[in-house]
Structure 1
């Protein structure tokens, strides 16, 4: 790994500790303009997520009303009832977003796909920096709100389903994440600036529990509004 990438991974608990676990579960309280814009206001406001660590999969429960559960994998998304019966599914989900813009509504399986790639990426970061074929490169420092943050460009291989191929991490002097930039390819390449705060320690790993995502301008500056997505996490457990 790049030296800065190694510093970031170590600051969050280190690979030795991370490698002891296979999955992570957390409770999510979510908000922001995106969900209503995509036709699913309230559906994931109060939910739980479980993600694979390393292996890419994610499950949200409940998914809207009742006891519905999602299962996301890069090649397929399913929505099941509480008895495990498949209610809806989508094969090759990424291709279903062709031609989408920010305003294009999503089907329920498309929502499950987005929620899956997003939470899997967020909760596996920054340990994805050590994943096979993930390439990182140091960028110039960034100045924001009187602070100086180090930046790392991260390039993902095609076998990892995430927001986009190239993303940027911003970290403080201790190596903890402050901001995470990406373009949401499945929503018309909408540019986002994702801020993370309020770290907690869980079983030897550090996690930010407050996430706020805003539009990102061409010069890299974040807009103050609208709030695109908010995510507050608690009850984090590693298994």
Structure 2
């Protein structure tokens, strides 16, 4: 079920009919930010190739941990494997391994792979994932930013879908393109984050932001400008049927 605002948002990002003609997306990503050091998983500035499925929740990034390795993520299982498919390590029910975590709890490589998988799947499929079965979308109050008013959608994710938090908020400019994404990082103690997106690019008729900057918030929901947790630059995007 969609809303009038979501209908306009989908059209601005390339249209649902066009999106449904594709099955996978690939993109080159460069990642930074404070979160990786906090979690004991230092991030280098090397470009990596990210792949996601568009009609189901699956993701993979390469290289990961070694030049000939990649990840294989679904909500039910995460693995690190060689390019020939040999499994290096795997974890079933990976969400359960974050039980009791706080912001400073270290992650192991499989936990990092799980976070990367669900986060990039969410980012690269926004806003179209909102039309998948079980997603509940409601228009919420707008926010005022940079002299503009950005209209909002709150999404409730269904059981079985992995993401930052069950409830997330997305805000769109007058052109109906995404400007901001709010969520709680449940796998890292539930800290609140505001992610600003910018510099839209087009690939195969689909529009998506090429820059993402996620900041931690204080207890009152105010952004902490020195707490840039995750930075992602995205380019060389392609979609395939």
User: Does TM-score exceed 0.5, indicating one fold?
Assistant: yes
Q: 1:221 Cα deviation (Å)?
A: 3.3
Q: Which runs of structure 2 are paired with 1:187-202 in the superposition (5 Å)?
A: 187-202=188-203
Bigger mean CA deviation after superposition, 139-148 or 93-102: 139-148
Aligned residues: 239
Query: Do 1:44 and 1:63's aligned partners in 2 also have CA atoms closer than 8 Å?
Result: no
Query: Do 2:201 and 2:207's aligned partners in 1 also have CA atoms closer than 8 Å?
Result: yes
Q: Is residue 2:220 matched to residue 1:222? A: no
Distance 1:120 1:181, change over 3 A: same
Bigger mean CA deviation after superposition, 204-213 or 1-10: 1-10
> Normalising by the residue count of structure 1, what TM-score does the alignment of the two structures yield?
0.96
> Normalising by the residue count of structure 2, what TM-score does the alignment of the two structures yield?
0.96
Q: 1:131 Cα deviation (Å)?
A: 1.2
SS in 1 for 2:228: coil
Distance 1:27 1:184, change over 3 A: same
Q: 1:226 Cα deviation (Å)?
A: 1.5
Rounded Cα–Cα distance in structure 2 between residues aligned with 1:27 and 1:195: 19
Q: What's the counterpart of residue 161 of structure 1? A: 162
Q: 1:215 Cα deviation (Å)?
A: 0.9
Rounded Cα–Cα distance in structure 1 between residues aligned with 2:54 and 2:198: 21
- After superposition, the C-alpha distances for 1:139-171 in whole angstroms (9 at most, x for unaligned) are 112112222111111111112111111000010
Unaligned runs of 5+ in 2: none
Query: Do 2:32 and 2:44's aligned partners in 1 also have CA atoms closer than 8 Å?
Result: no
Rounded Cα–Cα distance in structure 2 between residues aligned with 1:121 and 1:139: 20
Q: 1:66 Cα deviation (Å)?
A: 2.1
Rounded Cα–Cα distance in structure 2 between residues aligned with 1:104 and 1:45: 25
Rounded Cα–Cα distance in structure 1 between residues aligned with 2:100 and 2:37: 20
Query: Do 1:56 and 1:74's aligned partners in 2 also have CA atoms closer than 8 Å?
Result: yes
- After superposition, the C-alpha distances for 1:36-79 in whole angstroms (9 at most, x for unaligned) are 11111125743111001021110010003321110001111110
Q: What's the counterpart of residue 60 of structure 1? A: 61
Q: What's the counterpart of residue 237 of structure 2? A: 236
Q: What's the counterpart of residue 147 of structure 1? A: 148
Q: Segments of 4+ in structure 1 off by > 3 A?
A: 217-221
SS in 2 for 1:161: coil
Query: Do 2:73 and 2:79's aligned partners in 1 also have CA atoms closer than 8 Å?
Result: yes
Query: Do 1:43 and 1:64's aligned partners in 2 also have CA atoms closer than 8 Å?
Result: no
Rounded Cα–Cα distance in structure 2 between residues aligned with 1:35 and 1:218: 22
Rounded Cα–Cα distance in structure 2 between residues aligned with 1:220 and 1:177: 20
Unaligned runs of 5+ in 1: none
Query: Do 2:210 and 2:233's aligned partners in 1 also have CA atoms closer than 8 Å?
Result: yes
SS in 1 for 2:103: coil
Bigger mean CA deviation after superposition, 211-220 or 48-57: 211-220
Q: What's the counterpart of residue 22 of structure 2? A: 21
